[in-house]
Chain A
Amino acid sequence: MRSLVTAAASIFALLHIGTANAEGVLNIFNWGNYTSPELIKKFEEKYNVKVTITDFDSNDTALAKTRQGGNDFDIVVPTSTFVKIWIDEGLLLETRPDQMENFKNVDPRWVNVDFDPGRHYTVPWQWGTTGMLVNTSVYSGDPNTSAIFLDPPAELQGKLSVLPEMGDILTLAIYYEGGTDACTSDKNILRKVRDRLVAARPKWLSLDYPSLEKYTAGDFDAGVNWGGASMRVRLENPHFVYGYPKEGYPIWMDNVAVLKTAPNVENAKLFQNFVMDPENAALISAYARYANGIAGSEKFMPEEMKNAPEIVVPAEFLDKGRFTPACPPEVNEMYTKIWTEVLK
């Protein structure tokens, strides 16, 4: 038995060393269906590097898997909400993207972000907003309010689809009830939030991730949705418009970071620099349909994205969008209880 364990252990050790020493490899750990194959092909050809991509389906999964160890990921793409956790837990390598050659292309708006001030760890991948998607042939009122799902007009009741994202939904409700902090622990506001959500839930049809054809086929007439996904719906059915809640709405940004345990640090840094090139950043956007945060990439973008109101936020709603941080554990616990209460 003991010899078997030793044998197994040495096989694993060999495997690990094997990958650690491999040259010309880059392992990316990213959201599913999110990495442009064209971008990867270009990177592989330019630097003679073989890229592998592993998918994750949520920030929590990505964090749990990475922390568990036993992987050979170089690059991870966490959302703004989670970047600070990754940094604080000592999982990321300080690669100083701000000193890289292509950093000059980063839109100044995204340089001094609170989750990574001055960009010492991360590079923008894509960013977007969470807002309202409304079929104007069913409801012709103002789409730019969270009342669409929190106090639904009669026409939309029973035809609403809401994202099953606790953070996004509570944030929208907190802003709607007059809160300014997405991680508030102000019980007066939270009580209103809970009552509001409990009252609104029976008027929703589903709580699910967006599906294009359910909107276009008429199962849903409105919903809480992401900008890029909403644009795809609008391209199929021009009656749909995307609304930016005037009470406030969450902005998110996914960011390219290098893991401290990365076996291929140099290739990973090359990749960070590579995606800050406007032409390459445009490839990312063209594939996954969100804005990218690199100035000058617009002119390489597909025609239908250049002026899409779901992606280029209209000036009047620009200041209503806010990054949401990852809430502290005790606040998150309250939110989970409220969320369970709402969905029980």
Chain B
Amino acid sequence: MANAAEIATAAARADVRNRWWLAAPALAIVLLAAIGPLVVVVLYSFMVKGDYGDVKYWQFSLDGWFSVIFERDVFDDTLKLADAHLTILWRSVKLSVITTLVTLLLGFPVAYFIATCDRRWRDFWLFMITLPFWTNLLIRTFAIQEVFRNEGVLNSALLWLGAIKRPLQIMFTDLGILLGMAYVYLPLMVLPLYASLERFDFRFAEAAADLYASNFKVLRRIIIPMVRPGIIAGSILVFIPSLGAYVTPRLLGGGRSLMLGNLIELQFGQGRNWPLGSALSITLTGGVMLALLVYVRAASKSGSGHHG
């Protein structure tokens, strides 16, 4: 008996070992490609900035981190909060939250429509949703520019219809950035929502309706709680890339107002302050991770209330 148990444990051990070996290449790539660069960025954020870009290697300094939040005034040398950085951070967060809400409002009906339409048509609609991913983000952004701009498709059509007298200035405004971001990230919201809604058993909705729940109540009390994982997944997928978005604000917003991504780029380029750029990047990464943790915690708590 002891012998058989020993053989069993040995086999189990061999199995574990094999699994590690098989997973090793993927783990190595993750470690090298994801964590490696992150370590470099962390190290750079603690070094002295080089005179013309780069850093002075292995000279420790907290200046990079210090200037994320504080700065010495250029003119009177007093120490104060780096309100420019905070303003830019706030603008990015605000824009990301609004983008997430807009994509949720637009994406939910779409996902609902696809999940409830005839099975034969679902694949077609899903295909249509994923179609923009076939094209590079930069090209899609340029394309949407052609729609918005003063001489673009939208304004020409509205002018022709007589709905407006002068072209609407959408390009280079915050509205332009928002519309562009919503357009770019909408599929990332629709797909997880669809995955949740597709599994949703519509007999629950029927039962609620039979019990005299209004349509709105069915949506609020039955559907939304049960597809919450999809809503959360979609929101995370939209919120995180929005926060670091660089191309869309730059092209559609005209770059007149800095976003977090642009601020970081400035430090690595013309600002020649790599430690500050690194510290800002880590701040962004840390903030996203924190938001994610809080989000997932809150979600799992309220989720467990419903399922037991």
Decide: B255 and A206 in contact? CB cutoff 8 A.
Answer: yes
Question: Top 10 closest A-B pairs, CB basis?
Answer: A206-B254, A344-B84, A336-B271, A207-B255, A329-B51, A166-B270, A343-B258, A344-B87, A217-B151, A60-B269
Give Cα A161 to B269, complex, Å.
Answer: 21
Given contacts A64-B53, A85-B52, A217-B149, contact A205 B272 (CB under 8 A): no
Is A165 at the interface (CB under 8 A from chain B)? yes
Whether A343 contacts B270 by the Cβ 8 Å rule is no
Report how far A205 CA is from B173 CA in the complex, Å: 8
Residues of A within 8 A of B258 (CB): 340, 343-344
A333 in contact (CB, < 8 A): yes
Q: In this complex, what residue of A is CB-closest to B268?
A: A60
22 pairs of residues in contact across A and B, judged by CB atoms under 8 Å: A89-B52, A158-B169, A166-B271, A187-B74, A187-B75, A191-B75, A206-B171, A206-B256, A214-B149, A217-B150, A219-B150, A329-B52, A332-B271, A336-B271, A337-B71, A337-B74, A340-B85, A340-B266, A343-B256, A344-B83, A344-B88, A344-B258
Write the nearest CB–CB distance from B300 to chain A, whole angstroms.
Answer: 37
The answer to whether the Cβ of A61 comes within 8 Å of any Cβ in the partner chain is yes
Residue A23, interface by CB 8 Å: no
Q: In the complex the two chains form, is B270's CB within 8 Å of A165's CB?
A: yes
Q: Is B172 an interface residue (CB 8 A)?
A: yes
Contacts of B85 in A (CB 8 A): 340, 344
Residues of B near A343 (CB, < 8 A) are: 256-258
Residue of A nearest to B71 (CB): A337
**CB of B236 within 8 Å of the partner chain:** no
Residues 218-259 of chain A: 1 if any B CB is under 8 Å from the residue's CB, otherwise 0?
Answer: 110000000000000000000000000000000000000000
Question: Contact at A205–B271, with CB atoms within 8 Å?
Answer: no
**Among residues 12 to 51 in chain B, which have CB atoms less than 8 Å away from a CB atom of chain A?**
49, 51
Across chains A and B, the number of contacting residue pairs, with CB separation under 8 Å, is 98
Asked whether A40 is an interface residue with its Cβ less than 8 Å from the other chain, the reply is no
A67 touches B (CB below 8 Å): yes
| Inter-subunit contact A340/B52 (CB<8 Å) | no
Contacting residues, chain B, for A114 (C-beta < 8 A): none
User: Closest approach, in angstroms, between the C-beta of B102 and any C-beta of chain A?
Assistant: 23
- Is there a chain A Cβ closer than 8 Å to B281's Cβ? no
| Closest partner residue, chain B, to A206 (CB atom) | B254
Chain A residue numbers with a CB within 8 Å of B256 are 201, 204-207, 343
> Measured between alpha carbons, how far is A6 from B270 in the docked complex, in Å?
39
Measured CB to CB, the nearest residue on chain A to B272 is: A332
Contact A60–B150 (Cβ < 8 Å): no
Contact (Cβ within 8 A) B270 A67? no
Chain B residues 123 to 156 lying within 8 A of chain A, measured CB to CB, are: 149-151
Bound state CA distance, A215 and B270, in angstroms?
26
Chain B CB within 8 A of A138 CB: no
Contact with B along A139-180 (1 / 0, CB 8 A): 000000000000000000010010011110000000000000
CB-based contact A60/B270 at 8 Å: yes
A residues with CB within 8 A of B: 58, 60-61, 63-64, 67, 85, 89, 158, 161, 164-167, 187, 190-191, 194, 201, 204-208, 214, 217-219, 326, 328-329, 332-334, 336-341, 343-344
Question: A340: nearest residue on chain B (CB-CB)?
Answer: B84
Whether A218 contacts B51 in the complex (CB less than 8 A), given A60-B269, A60-B272, A201-B256, comes out as no
The answer to whether A336 and B273 touch across the interface, beta carbons within 8 angstroms, is yes
Residues 68-99 (chain B) with a chain A CB within 8 angstroms: 71, 74-75, 83-85, 87-88
Residues of A near B269 (CB, < 8 A) are: 58, 60-61
Chain B residues near A187: list those with CB within 8 A.
Answer: 74-75
Q: What's the minimum C-beta distance from A269 to chain B, rounded to whole angstroms?
A: 26
A67 to B251, CA, bound (A): 30
Cα A85 to Cα B74 in complex, Å, equals: 25
Taking CB atoms, residues of chain A closer than 8 Å to B267 are 336
CA A64 to CA B258, docked complex, whole Å: 23
Q: B263 an interface residue at 8 Å Cβ cutoff? A: yes
Q: Using A206-B172, A206-B256, A217-B151 as known contacts, say yes or no to A336 and B52 having CB atoms under 8 A apart.
A: no
Contacts of B53 in A (CB 8 A): 60, 63-64
Enumerate B270-289 residues with CB–CB distance to A below 8 Å: 270-273
Residues of chain B contacted by A340 (CB below 8 angstroms) = 84-85, 88, 258, 263, 266, 271
Say if the beta carbon of B54 comes within 8 Å of chain A: yes
On whether the beta carbons of B52 and A167 are closer than 8 Å, the reply is no
Q: In the assembled complex, which residues on chain B have CB atoms less than 8 Å from the CB atom of A85?
A: 52
Which residues in A have their C-beta under 8 angstroms from that of B84? Answer: 337, 340-341, 344
CA distance A85 to B52 in the complex (A): 8
A217-B149, A329-B52, A336-B270 in contact; A208/B74 too (CB < 8 A)? no
Query: Is there contact, CB below 8 Å, between A336 and B151?
Result: no
Q: In the complex, A218→B267 CA distance in Å?
A: 33
